Amino acid sequence: MMAYEHIIFAGPQLEVHLCLLFTAMLRHSLVPNDFSFGIIKPLLKCKNYDQSNLNEYRGITLTPVIFNLFESVLL
């Protein structure tokens, strides 16, 4: 998985390749399977809540950085 720093400091070469990837995805109406996977992490709603009660947690999904970038481009 890439970190945001990889994209920020990659330079103009990565911009060209990401542009080609995103254009191909839109033209062919196809999203790579790797974009549909995420890691679900439990997050406590508030620090003051009881940590032993499972109802006090909510799940957040960590998705690939490139997919987040693609979502931002679409919006």
- For 63, the token pair is 């998705």
DSSP labels, 16-46: HHHHHHHHHHHHHT---GGGG--EEEEEES-
Tokens of 61: 């999904």
Full-model pTM: 0.70
Can you give the residue ranges of every domain in the chain? Answer: 4-74
pLDDT tens track for 22-73? 999 999 999 989 888 889 999 988 878 888 888 889 999 988 888 989 999 8
